[in-house]
Amino acid sequence: MSGIKEMVMAKAITAALRDELAADPKTLLIGEDIGALGGVFRVTEGLQAEFGTHRVIDSPLAESGIVGTSIGMAMRGYRPVVEIQFDGFVFPAFNQITTQLAKMHSRTDGNVKVPVTIRLPYGGHIGSIEHHSESPEALFAHTAGLRIVAPSSPQDAYWMTRQAIVSDDPVIILEPKRRYWLKGKVDMENPAPDAFRAQVLRTGTDATIATYGPLVPVALAAAEAARAEGRSIEVVDIRSISPLDDETIARSAAKTQRLIVAHEAPTFGGIGGEIAARVAERAHHRLLAPVLRVGGFHMPYPPSSQEHRYLPDIDRMLEAVDRSFSYQRSA
């Protein structure tokens, strides 16, 4: 019997939640509209009917309350999995996440564990209205105590979700909402690689594009397009933002000697800058060009009628590849 199934990312996450609810009676889901409705993206569809209203909890409309009570439940031995409806609505819970959830283990000298998982549908390209398309990962990555992962495929979504829930640390899963309906094979018997490591998805020799979440398919398409122009692009799926697998990224950059980092979040103060600095520290002498960043602009996420100009796409990535090749190493 094969445990490999073809499914869309949203349903892979549903399957992961179902399997963890079944595996551990202490695992609970809590969020707005996750019960009868199955969540605004239907990711929790059917789970309340299957596990009951007390394990799949429809919460009041209060994000700080959802995260704050999840911390309290976690202190008592539960494993709450929080659904925040959209990226832009996580901020009412920002204090609970950063001053409480992230610090609890450390400030109690390791005596209190808070295994809370926060599912955060994030990113743009869904033609929505304001506050529904943001990428706030850098704000959380800067906070010690949180783990942050971003799956790019149904297989990763399934396993990362399961690994996040069983982790004793708080984990934020950035779910690339524009990829919820991306189909792929999920091997339910053989775990995907460690959720907190990067993965080389496509090997190449001339340049590396490192990215995560929704831009991974874009990077793979850019690499394919570059091949037609005679360039061999390596694609690294960063997967985990905290911890950051800078070793795998730097190894690829040292090999291809050119690195482009892409994310939807604004480049200013973003993860790309952190990666650029780390790769420069590790592989400066191997690089033929500075690490280049492709990302959003230093502006609030624009009205979605303009998001096609705001979001990195294949052409923006290829332009960065071209720019990387335009640098001449001085003698």
76 binds another protein (CB under 8 A): yes
Pick between residue 148 and residue 287 the one whose CB is nearest to another protein.
148
191 binds another protein (CB under 8 A): no
212 binds another protein (CB under 8 A): no
Pick between residue 57 and residue 318 the one whose CB is nearest to another protein.
57
Task: Print the binding letters for residues 213-242 with another protein: x by CB under 8 A, - otherwise.
Answer: -----------------------------x
Q: What are phi and psi of 196, to 5 degrees?
A: -100, 20
Q: How far is CA 151 from CA 54, 110, 173, 215, 229, in A?
A: 28, 29, 8, 11, 29
Catalytic residues, by residue number, are 132
77 binds another protein (CB under 8 A): yes
Q: Which of 46, 107, 181, 299 binds another protein (CB under 8 A)?
A: 107
251 binds another protein (CB under 8 A): no
Instruction: With CA atoms as reference, report the closest residue to 293 among 325, 326, 316.
Output: 316
22 binds another protein (CB under 8 A): no
Give Cβ neighbours of residue 251 (< 8 Å, ≥ 6 apart).
Answer: none
DSSP 8-state assignment for residue 59: P
Let me know the angle formed at the C-alpha of 197 by 195 and 104, rounded to the nearest 5 degrees: 65
Residues that contact another protein, how many (by CB under 8 A): 48
36 binds another protein (CB under 8 A): no
84 binds another protein (CB under 8 A): no
Q: How far is CA 111 from CA 78, 103, 108, in A?
A: 15, 12, 5
Helix (H, G, I), strand (E, B) or coil at 184: strand
Instruction: With CA atoms as reference, report the closest residue to 246 among 273, 219, 271, 278.
Output: 278
Task: Print the binding letters for residues 142-171 with another protein: x by CB under 8 A, - otherwise.
Answer: --xx-x-------------------xxx--
Task: Give the span between the Cα atoms of 169 and 158, in whole angstroms.
Answer: 18
For another protein, the binding residues (CB under 8 A) are 25, 28, 54, 59-60, 62, 64-65, 67-78, 80, 92, 95-96, 99-100, 105-113, 144-145, 147, 167-169, 196, 242-247
